[in-house]
Amino acid sequence: MDKTRSIDILLFDDLNILDVSGPVQAFSSANDDGVSRYHLRYVSLDGSAVTSSCGLRLQADQRLEIEGHRDLLVPGGRGVDRMLQLPELQKILSGWQRSGNGERVISVCSGALILADAGLLDGRSATTHWGRAKQVRDLFPMVNWVTSELYRIDDLIFTSAGVTSGIDLALEVIRRDHGSVVALSVARELVVYLKRSGGQNQFADILEAQFTEDRELARLISALHDDPGADWTLDRMADVAGLTSRTLVRRFSNLTGHSPVKFLERYRVKRASEALSGGVPIGKSIEVAGFKDFQQMQRAFKRQLGTTVGDYAEKFSK
């Protein structure tokens, strides 16, 4: 029978509910076949209920205290900043792993700031939400912040980037604890990728561009998303946007840091990489992403990801 791991989940006011619900659902789903792999317990600093940032009340099982053989999961959210510089919390966290029983500390999103505040990340590599990058580097210069990654594991310290990457990290924890078969079963149950590709900033420009308030550029971006495989010349893009080619390039570069043509290539690579990560065959991924042929996709992968299509598929589709 698999060993049961016990995990305490730290609750505090104004936490992000997805930082809690995503990972704990993954751990809970690992028990669905009747094997007790994870025992979850919810704790707060004083044992009281808390209110998440969306208004949902969460009841703690007990107060936070050091107990042997228990991992700790620390979520993020707006309330993180109020959890910093609390001597009681710093003391508990700094002593969490001193018992030598292999207890792990896991953070989701900006929860990494709470770990850093307690000194747990000094001299280690860690990640957090990209929006906190400047803040964490200013506040905690002793930490090697790698905010381009979805998650980072440094010995017994596990940190993840933003919100849904907490699920990615939970799946990796499950894989390490109980093997790929169990982790894949949980990923299928949650309808997520077992291994999500790239870093959190890899295609952040594409995500941000989708929400632009520039109506002309929004119209073009929507068209590119709807039909990435069309014969998109710069002149055709300019016609769709209702702008001159020169104005389009200038405004698009200001928005995304890329020309419209380069943005389209990045978007095609994003679609292809997501398809490959989900197990879609290379031939179908070419079609889904809008590439004309394999060679075009191969060149784009080398430019954008620094790898070949074959190497990428082998690494991320298993």
pLDDT digits (tens, 9 = 90+) for 111-142: 999 999 999 999 999 999 988 989 999 999 99
Report pLDDT for 198: 62
CATH code: domain 204-316 is: 1.10.10.60
- Residue 202: predicted pLDDT: 64
Q: Is residue 284 a contact partner of residue 249, using CB atoms and an 8 Å limit?
A: no
Compute the radius of gyration of the chain from its Cα atoms. 22
Name the residue ranges covered by the structural domains of the chain. Answer: 5-190, 204-316
CB atoms under 10 Å from CB of 240, counted, come to: 18
The answer to whether residues 17 and 53 touch, using CB atoms and an 8 Å cutoff, is yes
Give strand pairing partners of 50: 58
Return the CATH class of domain 5-190: alpha beta
Q: How many CA atoms lie less than 13 Å away from 254 in the CB half-sphere?
A: 8
Angle at 206 between CA 78 and CA 76, to 5 degrees: 15
Question: CA dihedral in degrees (28, 31, 34, 36; nearest 10)?
Answer: -110
The residue assigned the tokens 């959190």 is 200
Q: Are 145 and 116 in contact (CB under 8 A)?
A: no
Strand ranges in 23-88 using DSSP code E only, listed in sequence order? 38-44, 50-51, 57-58, 62-63, 70-74
Question: How far, in Å, CA of 25 to CA of 47, rounded?
Answer: 22
- Check residue 1 and give its pLDDT: 45
Amino acid at 137: R
Separation of CA 147 from chain center: 10
Could you give the CA distance from residue 30 to residue 54 in angstroms, rounded to a whole number? 27
Q: Position 300: which residue type?
A: A
Give the phi and the psi of residue 157 in degrees, each rounded to 5. Answer: -105, 120
List, in order, residues 6 or more apart from 139 with CB less than 8 Å away: 113, 116, 117
CA distance 236 to 1: 61
For residues 168 and 163, give the distance between their C-alpha atoms in angstroms, rounded to a whole number: 10
**Tens digit of pLDDT at every position of the chain (318 positions):** 468 999 999 999 999 999 999 999 999 999 999 999 999 999 999 999 999 999 999 999 999 998 778 999 999 999 999 999 999 999 999 887 665 678 899 999 999 999 999 999 999 999 999 889 899 999 999 999 988 778 899 999 999 987 788 998 999 899 899 987 898 788 888 877 666 656 656 676 776 787 788 999 999 998 998 899 999 999 999 999 999 999 999 999 998 889 999 999 999 998 898 888 767 889 999 999 999 999 999 999 999 888 899 988 887 655
